[in-house]
Amino acid sequence: MIPVQGLQGARVAILGLGRSGLSAARALVAGGAVPVCWDDNPAAREKAQAEGFECLDLLKSRAFADVARLIVSPGIPHLYPAPNPVIMAAQDAGVAVDNDIGLFFQSFATKGWDNFDQMPKVIAVTGSNGKSTTSALIHHILEYAGRPTQLAGNIGRGVLDIDPAIDGEVVVLELSSYQTDLARNLTPDVAVFTNLSPDHLDRHAGMGGYFAAKRRLFAEGGPDRAIIGVDEAEGRFLAGQLSEGAADDRVIRVSVDRKLAGLGWNVFARKGFLAEMRNGKQVASIDLRKVEGLPGSHNHQNACAAYAACRTLGFAPKVIEAAFHSFGGLPHRSQTVGELRGIRFVNDSKATNVDSAVKAVAAFQNIRWICGGLEKEGGLGDLAKPLETVRKAYVIGREAAQFAMKLGVEAEVCGTMDVAVARAVAEAEAGDVVLLAPAAASFDQYDSFERRGDDFIAQVQKFL
């Protein structure tokens, strides 16, 4: 646990008592603060009270009279699509609003570090797609190289649940826009921006607000190194804002769309080969085509970002390359489930938006594509175009018929996962890939993308 520093003796309100809320309450107590908790769900309040935490309706009169700070769980919208009344009440009372990420950065460094030979570091990863794989890949490379490391944030453990840092340790954090948007302290040593595509637009009132939430990781904290995916206009804009000039190697640009030239520090992948360029000269190259755990250009982008992050720590290219080959990938992200009669089954249930689904589809050939679910704001966009690698789509979800009509490929309305898998297996031939890449949220049929992926695996297992 990371005890919260700087709030000893203070009353701190907590809104939302899920994993991050309860974790924050425990860390506040460990640091000598007094948490005051609230959640609209009575069961959540009962759980908090069972741990001895005080619960108080934060909308009651003078609830914030003696409160030093309000800690908000990431799942609670604060401004859009409508202002949250508790957060507005706190701000009206002059109470600072924060989250567990802000508490972490406020509290991570301690006086004990004065005795360390090598200062601990934090690498924070954000972006629309690939941040989980990139974070896990960085963590894996560090473990492979024998460097002490912990993985936390939007993946693994909550940020305040990790152990206090030891000499030379590197903490890798995956941070969503929900987490970066409210944190009052954002001070990573290395910050990574993978890419940007439409997602969570209602929460951020459009693409501008969504990008602004991601940008805070770089603008508020001023990391020593910034690794920026520049295949979208927003990434190029961000890199330009952070850089002092063409030769400024504090900004490392990453691409899988084109070769990056110039005097700066660039890492890009073309035709399956990763290249590192510094001062206009190539200093390393890795053949990513042979890395089974990172298939497709979207995973090559993740590899470039992770490579760049580890290079800033001084790791040799050969060490990073060797670690790539032992990386098994993450569940529900281009995860090979098995093979049958030459047919490969791949679970990419995490492809919950159009951009991630298009990239997943582009990673394979002869695809029997299972897609559909709760369509996100912004529509299906690129899915209406012909997708050359797709032989046929098998559509699930409550609105499967409407979803299927918007696709640019032959589609069969299946409705449920069991029907979709059965139909795909019946029609697939040797060399085909049955791919789950929904391009939609899961909440019309499942309570998470993990449950959807687990169902896909269960249905596939019936045939293996």
Say whether both 399 and 450 belong to one domain.
yes
Q: Is the pLDDT of residue 377 over 80?
A: no
* pLDDT at residue 43, as a whole number: 96
* pLDDT at residue 305, as a whole number: 98
Q: Is the pLDDT of residue 389 over 80?
A: yes
The two three-digit tokens of residue 210, written as one number: 């969504």
343 burial type by CB count under 10 A (0-12 exposed, 13-18 middle, 19+ buried): buried
Summarize the confidence of residues 288-305 as an average pLDDT. Answer: 93
* pLDDT at residue 385, as a whole number: 84
Query: Is the Cβ–Cβ distance between 186 and 216 less than 8 Å?
Result: yes
Establish if 4 belongs to a structural domain: no
Say whether both 67 and 157 belong to one domain.
no
Q: Is the pLDDT of residue 384 over 90?
A: no
Summarize the confidence of residues 406-431 as an average pLDDT. Answer: 97
Establish if 2 belongs to a structural domain: no
Q: Is the pLDDT of residue 417 over 90?
A: yes
Establish if 309 belongs to a structural domain: yes
Say whether both 262 and 409 belong to one domain.
no
Say whether both 94 and 119 belong to one domain.
no
Establish if 408 belongs to a structural domain: yes
Summarize the confidence of residues 215-236 as an average pLDDT. Answer: 95
pLDDT tens for 11-31 read 999 999 999 999 999 999 999
Summarize the confidence of residues 159-188 as an average pLDDT. Answer: 97
Residue with tokens 């309100």: 13
Q: Is residue 372 left, alpha or beta, with left meaning phi > 0 and alpha meaning psi from -120 to 50?
A: left
Q: Is the pLDDT of residue 41 over 80?
A: yes
Say whether both 340 and 311 belong to one domain.
no
Residue type present at position 418? D
Number of domains in the chain: 3
CATH code for the domain of 115? 3.40.1190.10
Is 397 known as a binding-site position?
Answer: no
Say whether both 168 and 306 belong to one domain.
yes
Cα atoms found within 13 Å of the Cα of residue 367, Cβ hemisphere only? 28
Segment holding 211, helix H or strand E: helix 207-219
Is 259 known as a binding-site position?
Answer: no
Rounded CA separation 391/128 (Å) = 27
Say whether both 182 and 302 belong to one domain.
yes
Say whether both 305 and 450 belong to one domain.
no
Establish if 255 belongs to a structural domain: yes
Rounded CA separation 460/462 (Å) = 5
Is 126 known as a binding-site position?
Answer: no
Query: With bands split at pLDDT 50, 70 and 90, how would you rate the model's confidence at 380?
Result: confident
CATH code for the domain of 64? 3.40.50.720
Say whether both 28 and 64 belong to one domain.
yes
Q: Which of 307, 325, 343 is the last residue of a domain?
A: 325
Residue type present at position 165? A
- With a CB cutoff of 8 Å and minimum separation 6, the contacts of 353 are 128, 129, 197, 198, 199, 376, 439, 440
Closest listed residue to residue 202, CA positions, set 4, 57, 377, 53: 377
pTM for the model stands at 0.90
* pLDDT at residue 198, as a whole number: 84
Share of the chain above pLDDT 70, in %: 100
First to last CA, the chain: 43
Establish if 239 belongs to a structural domain: yes
| DSSP bridge partners of 228 | 193, 253
Is 133 known as a binding-site position?
Answer: yes
Range of the domain at 356: 335-461
* pLDDT at residue 329, as a whole number: 85
Say whether both 356 and 271 belong to one domain.
no
* pLDDT at residue 261, as a whole number: 87
Q: Is the pLDDT of residue 229 over 90?
A: yes
CATH code for the domain of 368? 3.90.190.20
Query: With bands split at pLDDT 50, 70 and 90, how would you rate the model's confidence at 254?
Result: very high
* pLDDT at residue 381, as a whole number: 81
Residue type present at position 171? V
Summarize the confidence of residues 81-102 as an average pLDDT. Answer: 97
Task: For residue 42, say if its preceding peptide bond is cis, omega within 30 degrees of 0.
Answer: no
Q: Is the pLDDT of residue 378 over 80?
A: no
Say whether both 409 and 443 belong to one domain.
yes
Q: Is the pLDDT of residue 196 over 80?
A: yes
Q: Which of 38, 64, 98 is the last residue of a domain?
A: 98
Establish if 104 belongs to a structural domain: no
Is 378 known as a binding-site position?
Answer: no
Asked which of 227-241, 305-319, 353-367 is least confident by mean pLDDT, the reply is 353-367
pLDDT tens for 60-91 read 999 999 999 999 999 999 999 999 999 999 99
Q: Using alpha carbons, list the distances in angstroms from residue 349 to 335, 355, 370, 453.
A: 9, 13, 10, 5
Torsion of CA 403, 444, 455, 334, to 10 degrees: 60
Say whether both 313 and 343 belong to one domain.
no
Average pLDDT of the residues of the chain: 95
Q: Is the pLDDT of residue 221 over 90?
A: no
Establish if 450 belongs to a structural domain: yes
Query: With bands split at pLDDT 50, 70 and 90, how would you rate the model's confidence at 247?
Result: confident
* pLDDT at residue 275, as a whole number: 98
Q: Which of 63, 98, 133 is the last residue of a domain?
A: 98
